[in-house]
Amino acid sequence: MPKLGLVGGLRWFWRQLTSMRTALFLLLLLAIGAVPGSIWPQRGIDAVRVSDYLAQHQTIGPWLDRFGFFDVYSSPWFSAIYLLLVVSLLGCILPRTKVHWQAMRTPPPKAPKRLERLPAHTERVVDAAPEDVLIAAREALRSKRFRLRDDQGDAVSGEIGALRETGNLLFHVSLVVVIVAVAAGHVLGWRGDVIVPEGSTFASTASRYDTIDPGPWVDVEHFSPWSLDLNKLNVSFEDQVPTDSPQYGQPRSFTADVTTGDEDGKTKKQHIAVNHPIRMGGASVYLLGNGYAPVITVRDKAGKVIYRQATPFLPQDNTYKSVGAVKVTGASPKQLGFAGFFIPSLDFDDKMGPISTFPGLRQPALVLTAFEGDLFPTARPQSVYTLDTAKMTQLKDAKGQPLRLLVTPGQTVTLPGGQGSITLESIPRWAGLSVRTDPGKMPALAGAVAGLIGLVMSLTLRRRRVFVRVTPAPEEESRPEGPGHGQPSGAADGAGRRTLVSVGGLAKGEDPRLAAALEELLESIVTRTGKPA
């Protein structure tokens, strides 16, 4: 008995799991479960923000981390909902597919005796023999793509709309395909973002990406080897309109001229544009952003170069006023840090201070403040665009005021206190490249298209069963004596050839046009047989 109880319980659980109601509930639960991923920062996207959140919320932060709220889409509970949804949908689809397959191979049922009891019914008398009416009924039904059953003597049955259930099943199968494809893209795909200044070379290895988000089953040590040289970043802005026009300074084109090299050592010149990626090593390389990466040189008091590199600054508005930081770890005895703005077209506003009037290089300058101390007071990762000044002291000028530096191209500015100097050497651009591989992208697209087709089929097609029965028309009552000498009407011109055509139908679900469809079918039958009696 305990074993029987267990088996019965498992059967009950399986019936509940594979019901469409449960599938819809799990789909809703999956949507709700994805909400925390848009509220709290995710480690796979921005580990710095997660670390900052945990540092600022030391009470609730660790609890959220235990429940996987910072790795929602990889958490066990989200994966469990995902798997249960797939199992539930498959448990719904497979039995329905079997039933539908059998129904497609089974002929329509025989016509009932009393067609007038069906939800829709109509009849008419025609001047034709019953066998001629049956032939006309078959032709009319076939012309409307009905499946027929005509082994009933005085009746014929027709069925249409089985493709409605086919579309319904196709929609649900497509939903499973999309879900599995998205999961496959998550576990087998990866994304890496990197900033590449003009004239620089990038090699696709995990350590060279600024941020990388690999799937759980991706081995980052075995990326396909390829390289990319950013030869030139071509950027154009609108300057042929008045300066007060909303279109002034708007971007018009972004293209990157690159030279790529594959694992065989073959090089090729290519162009990357917005929404026009290139394919390298099985991945797509997209051009997502751009900005300026001024080459900055910092020397110590002896004139020795302790920092020289293209430093990316992040645009903050349409005029490319960009924020950034210079971190000189080689300075001694204290590390140096510079934070501030790069402005491509410098101007000054009474309230906002230094601003940019155009995104192109018309009057470029660096506007910086300087600090000394410990650049990395904690072990937490930092953004390359910001400076952590928790354990740093701001440098001051000769008047004891916080130091403000304005550096133009080719200019060298001496730092106070024998700290050395800073020089703006040149101003190349940088390109933001995003390298992505998603093996589930095309299956998901195919599933979405198939699902749309299935949804249209299930919403537009009507499943109907129509029955046509023919019987000899009943004798009409005798008319008063006249030219026919009391004979029944029509007896002189073929009384035995009159036939009563009865048409009845029923539909699966609501079908407000069923009655009109039966009238149309009957009219077609009458037209094929001749004039009505």
Can you give the pLDDT at residue 90?
Answer: 92
Q: Kindly list the domain boundaries of the chain, sorted by start residue.
A: 2-101, 107-160+462-476+492-529, 186-292+433-445, 295-431
Residues 189, 215 contacting (CB under 8 angstroms)? yes
The whole-angstrom separation of Cα 313 and Cα 291 is 7
pLDDT at 478 over 80: no
Long-range interactions of 217-224: CB distance < 8 A, separation 24+: 217/187, 217/188, 218/187, 218/188, 218/189, 218/190, 220/190, 223/281, 224/263, 224/280, 224/281, 224/282, 224/283
Phi, psi of 354 (to 5 degrees): -70, 130
3-state secondary structure 111-152: CCCCHHHCCEEEEEEEECCHHHHHHHHHHHHHHCCCEEECCC
Mean pLDDT, rounded, for 446-468: 94
The conformation of residue 218, written as its DSSP 8-state character, comes to -
CA 441 to centroid of chain Cα atoms:
9
Edge-to-edge strands, sheet with 190-197: 211-214, 190-197, 429-437, 283-292, 278-280
Give the model's confidence band at 230: pLDDT under 50 very low, under 70 low, under 90 confident, else very high.
very high
CB 328 within 8 Å of CB 209: no
pLDDT of residue 491: 40
* pLDDT one-digit tens code per residue, 97-152: 999 999 999 999 999 999 999 999 999 999 889 999 999 999 999 999 999 997 88
Confidence of residue 431 (pLDDT cuts 50, 70, 90): very high
- Specify the residue for token string 């050395």: 420
Predicted confidence (pLDDT) at residue 481 exceeds the cutoff of 50: no
Coil, strand or helix at 262: coil
pLDDT of residue 531: 64
3-state secondary structure of 459: helix
Placement of tokens 């390109």 in the chain: 431
Neighbouring CB atoms inside 10 A of 201's CB total 12
Residue 19 CA, distance from chain mean position? 27
User: Judging by DSSP bridges, how do beta strands 314-315 and 322-328 pair with one another?
Assistant: antiparallel
DSSP for 477-495, written as a single string: PPPPSSTTTTPPTTGGGTG
pLDDT band at 476 (very low <50, low <70, confident <90, very high): low
**Mean pLDDT to the nearest integer, 193-211:** 92
Share of the chain above pLDDT 70, in %: 94
How far is 173 from 175, CA to CA, in rounded Å?
5
Is the peptide bond between 333 and the residue preceding it cis, with omega within 30 degrees of 0? yes
Q: Where are the beta strands (DSSP E) in 88-244?
A: 120-127, 147-149, 155-160, 190-197, 201-203, 211-214, 227-237
Architecture of domain 107-160+462-476+492-529: 2-Layer Sandwich (3.30)
Using 50, 70 and 90 to split pLDDT, how confident is the model at 482?
very low
Choose among 80, 387, 45: nearest CA to 214: 45
- Give the three-class secondary structure for 444: helix
For residue 463, give the amino acid letter: R
φ, ψ (nearest 5 deg) of residue 285: -110, 115
Whether the predicted pLDDT of 464 surpasses 70:
yes
d(CA 508, CA 103): 14
Sequence-separated (6 or more) residues with CB below 8 Å from residue 522? 122, 123, 124, 501, 503
List the Cα angle 374/379/384 in 5-degree steps.
70
Q: What rounded mean pLDDT belongs to the chain?
A: 89
Which tokens in the block code for residue 120? 């829709």
From CA 112, how far away is CA 194, in angstroms rounded?
73
Which residue has tokens 């099943």? 169
Q: 145 in the Ramachandran plot: left (φ > 0), alpha (ψ -120 to 50) or beta?
A: left
Residue 77 to residues 81, 86, 182, 399, 425, Cα–Cα distance (Å): 6, 14, 17, 61, 53
Which H or E element spans position 19? none
